[in-house]
Amino acid sequence: MDEKFINLSLDNIHDQHLCCAISDKKHQCGVDVKKQWLKDRLREGHVFRKLDANGKVFIEYAPLETAWVPVVGENYLYIYCLWVSGAFKGKGYAKALLEYCLRDARAQGKSGVCVLSAQKKKPFLSEKRFMLKYGFEVADTTDEGYELLALSFDGTMPHFTDSARRMSVPFAGVTIYHGMQCPYIPNCVEQVRLFCEQREVPLQLIAVDSLEKAKAVPCVFNNWAVFRDGKFESVQLMNEGAMKKLLGL
C-alpha cells in the first residue's frame, strides 16, 4: 500500500487535522479539547494513526492501564476507535491500521489487544465480525449485549470492571457520562443541555475528566454513555434529534 500514514506526536499535533472532525466548524471547540487531551495521553503511549489524506481514516489506541474506559487487564492495548468512512472504504485501510496496531502490540511485548463491541452492530463501536477475522474473541460480556473482544498473545484476558456491570444510576431523568477524547462531544453536550432545559427534562451531565473516573463509570463506556430514568440506554452520541427519539417526543 503506497498511501502514507501519520502518527500524531507532540511535534506535529498542532498542524494535523483530527480525521473524525475534519471540516465541521461547529466541532472546532471539540478539536481543541481533544488535542489538549491528546498531548498528555501521547506521553503515556497513546497512538493516533491516520491516513495522510483529507478523509476519516484512522485508528486510536492506548495501553489499557491508562485507557479511559472501565476495563482492566494486564499489559494490553485498548482500541478506542478504528474508523474508515465514505469513499475510503474497500481499499484495505482498516486492515492496514489494525495490523499496525497488532504489530505494535507484539513489538512492545504486550499480552494482547482489546476493544469494545457488541453482539449486534451498534454505532460508534467496532464491528464484531471484522475483529473476529483477526482472531479476536469474546473476553467479557454484559447482559445488555455489549462485549469486550480481545486478541490474546499469552492466554490472559482483560475484563469489565465491577462498576461497569451495574448499568444503572439513581436518577430520574437523563444522565450522560461524557469524556474528553472525542471532538464531537462538546457540541453534543451543548445540544443535549439546551434540549433538556427547554423541555424541562431533568438532566445530569457528568464529565469523566480523569482516568480514575473513567475506570469507575457505572456502565460500559468508550467516551459517552446515556441513562434514562436510571436505566442504561446507549453509548451512542446524542444530538437534539437523538434526544427526541430517546424521550419519544
- For residue 135, what pLDDT is reported? 96
pLDDT of 2 strictly over 80: no
Cα–Cα dist 127/29, whole Å: 29
Mean pLDDT of 244-249: 90
Cα–Cα dist 213/218, whole Å: 10
Whether the Cβ atoms of residue 161 and residue 221 lie closer than 8 Å to each other: no
Percent of the chain past pLDDT 70, that is, above it, reads 95
Phi, psi angle pair for 72, to nearest 5°:
-130, 155
User: Per the confidence metrics, is the pTM higher than 0.75?
Assistant: yes
- For residue 170, what pLDDT is reported? 95
Whether the Cβ atoms of residue 183 and residue 20 lie closer than 8 Å to each other: yes
Grid cell 427526541 is found at: 244
Q: Which CATH superfamily includes the segment(s) 164-247? A: Glutaredoxin (3.40.30.10)
Confidence category of residue 70, pLDDT binned at 50, 70, 90: very high
Whether the Cβ atoms of residue 142 and residue 187 lie closer than 8 Å to each other: no
- For residue 220, what pLDDT is reported? 96
Whether the Cβ atoms of residue 150 and residue 116 lie closer than 8 Å to each other: no
Whether the Cβ atoms of residue 117 and residue 134 lie closer than 8 Å to each other: no
Confidence category of residue 22, pLDDT binned at 50, 70, 90: low
Q: Could you state, in order of their start, the residue ranges of all structural domains in the chain?
A: 164-247
Amino acid, single-letter form, for residue 13:
I
Whether the Cβ atoms of residue 83 and residue 99 lie closer than 8 Å to each other: no
**Tens digit of pLDDT for each residue in 97-116?**
999 999 999 999 999 999 99
213 vs 67, 208, 232, CA distance in Å?
11, 6, 18
Whether the Cβ atoms of residue 81 and residue 237 lie closer than 8 Å to each other: no
Question: Residue 17 has what DSSP assignment?
Answer: P
Q: Are strands 174-178 and 203-207 parallel, antiparallel or unpaired?
A: parallel
- For residue 86, what pLDDT is reported? 81
**Tens digit of pLDDT for each residue in 187-235?**
999 999 999 999 999 999 999 999 999 999 999 999 999 999 999 999 9
Of residues 29, 26, 77, 88, the one with CA closest to residue 53: 88
